[in-house]
Amino acid sequence: MSNPVEQFQIHPLHPSLQFHIGSVDVSFTNSALWMLIGVVLSTVLLSVASKKRALVPGRMQMFAESLYEFIANMVRDNIGSEGRRYFPLIFTLFVMVMLGNTMGLIPYSFTYTSHLIVTLAMAMLIFVMVLVLGIARHGFHFFSFFLPPGVPVWLIPLIVPIEILSFAIRPVTLSVRLFANMIAGHIMLKVFAGFSVGMVAAFGTWGYAAGAVPMLFNTVLIGFELLIAFLQAYVFTVLSCIYLKDTIHIDH
């Protein structure tokens, strides 16, 4: 258990859950299990919380409404009133990322947001949406995106490739940011936990006292990781909002 990257290992849960679509292996893995747990958890929680529809909300309803207002404000601030149509998407994105990040902090769980392919898939969803909806809405004008107004003619050959690159790299930065934060945090936690175990193995009974030190450190780290889990979900969704804004109006 002391290899800190073993926690990222994916394996099918059971031979009976090994599925194939054509020749593609889509088996139900531990990663899929935690995605499913997240789906069930969020669906049940939010359904129960929004079922009562009380005028004076209870604790659960208050929580659901706070989350709703939080995302609604984020969408309104970053996209504008026209961003309402992206609200369910951003909400789902936030819940998915947030749950992946936080559930991953439960010992023996699996952090699906620590896998680049997962974060990349979500980032690509946003990127493709921006591209398709942007061109559908603005037509050829969408490509003026790559040419900010007021650029001197002699700078155009330099500016346009830079703008294209900065646009094309968006899904990469968006996904790598989340993935890297998650993997770093979890490795760090595992390394410190490994210290504790290692000390017990090395010093016997006294090792338990010595092992308490890295454990204490881990306790603090868990707090930080919770903050990062929220912060990265927030950053991911805010940036998605900013990117989706281009489908509505092109800034320059």
Nearer to other proteins, 139 or 251 (CB): 251
Residue type, 124: M
Contact 137, 249 (CB under 8 A): no
Nearer to other proteins, 154 or 200 (CB): 200
**Residue 199 makes contact with other proteins by CB under 8 A:** no
**Residue 69 makes contact with other proteins by CB under 8 A:** yes
**Residue 76 makes contact with other proteins by CB under 8 A:** no
Name which position in 121, 132, 156, 162 contacts other proteins (CB under 8 A). 121
**Residue 233 makes contact with other proteins by CB under 8 A:** no
Choose the stretch contacting other proteins; rule: CB under 8 A; options: 131-139, 157-165, 213-221, 227-235: 227-235
Q: How far is the CB of 245 from other proteins (least distance, A)?
A: 10
Name which position in 135, 160, 235, 248 contacts other proteins (CB under 8 A). 235
**Residue 61 makes contact with other proteins by CB under 8 A:** yes
The binding track of 40-59 with respect to other proteins, each residue x by CB under 8 A or -, is: --xx--xx--xx-xxx-x--
**Residue 86 makes contact with other proteins by CB under 8 A:** no
DSSP per residue, the chain: ---TTGGG---BS-GGG--EETTEE---BHHHHHHHHHHHHHHHHHHHHHHS--SS--HHHHHHHHHHHHHHHHHHHHT-GGGGGGHHHHHHHHHHHHHHHHHTTSTT---GGGSHHHHHHHHHHHHHHHHHHHHHHHGGGGGGGGS-TT--GGGHHHHHHHHHHHHHTHHHHHHHHHHHHHHHHHHHHHHHHHHHHHHHHHHTHHHHHHHHHHHHHHHHHHHHHHHHHHHHHHHHHHHHHHHHHTTT----
Q: How far is the CB of 152 from other proteins (least distance, A)?
A: 23
Q: How far is the CB of 239 from other proteins (least distance, A)?
A: 7
The two tokens of residue 66 are 């706070």
**Residue 179 makes contact with other proteins by CB under 8 A:** yes
**Residue 177 makes contact with other proteins by CB under 8 A:** yes
Nearer to other proteins, 64 or 244 (CB): 64
**Residue 165 makes contact with other proteins by CB under 8 A:** no
Among residues 174, 173, 183, which one has the least CA distance to residue 115?
183
Name which position in 147, 191, 210, 250 contacts other proteins (CB under 8 A). 191
Name which position in 160, 176, 200, 250 contacts other proteins (CB under 8 A). 176
**Residue 239 makes contact with other proteins by CB under 8 A:** yes
